[in-house]
Structure 1
Amino acid sequence: MIFFWSLFVRRQPRRHFALLDESGTCRALHQGDVPPTGGRWVEVTESRLGWIGQPLPAGAWVTPVVSRPAQRRALAA
């Protein structure tokens, strides 16, 4: 029965992260649901082994989503 339900449950795709050193060079790659702790991990669009030892390409960075809180309005009396 679990197998049957697993056919219909959608899992979120794994996220990709790259560890950067002080000069911005990629030192490691990681895939997971949450960002790793410790070090300078940044989210990237995909994992490519050719990036290790190289600066990340500009298009590899995932831009963080910045949300603004809803503006507060005074309630009309």
Structure 2
Amino acid sequence: MNFLRSLFAPRQQFRSFALLDSQGRCQAFKHCLMAPIGEGWVEIQEIRLNWLHQPLPANARVSPRITRARVQPMMAT
């Protein structure tokens, strides 16, 4: 039964990341659910091996995700 449930359950999407050096050149790629820990990782649209050791094109980066702040209840006065 769990197998049938897992077929229809929503799945998390993998995201692509590139590790940039201090000069903005791509040094590594990572495909994972969450952003990697450490400096230099940026989220990208897709992984292209010809970007290794090259500057990333401007359109390769994903715009930062906006997280919604929790709605706080209004204080009664």
Shared fold per TM-score greater than 0.5: yes
> Aligned with 1:7: secondary structure?
helix
What is residue 18 of structure 2 aligned with on the other side? 18
- Displacement of 1:19 in angstroms is 0.1
How far apart, CA to CA, are the structure 2 residues paired with 1:23 and 1:2?
49
What is residue 72 of structure 2 aligned with on the other side? none
- Displacement of 1:28 in angstroms is 0.2
Q: Deviations over 1:22-58 (max 9, x none)?
A: 0000000001111111231000111111111111111
How far apart, CA to CA, are the structure 2 residues paired with 1:13 and 1:37?
18
For 1:42-57, list aligned pairs within 5 A: 42-57=42-57
How far apart, CA to CA, are the structure 2 residues paired with 1:57 and 1:7?
37
> Aligned with 2:8: secondary structure?
coil
Aligned residues: CA RMSD: 2.3
How far apart, CA to CA, are the structure 1 residues paired with 2:3 and 2:51?
37
How far apart, CA to CA, are the structure 2 residues paired with 1:9 and 1:64?
27
TM-score if structure 1 supplies the norm length?
A: 0.79
What is residue 31 of structure 2 aligned with on the other side? 31
> Aligned with 1:38: secondary structure?
coil
TM-score if structure 2 supplies the norm length?
A: 0.79
What is residue 72 of structure 1 aligned with on the other side? none
Quick one: percent identity of the two aligned structures? 48
Aligned residues: 75
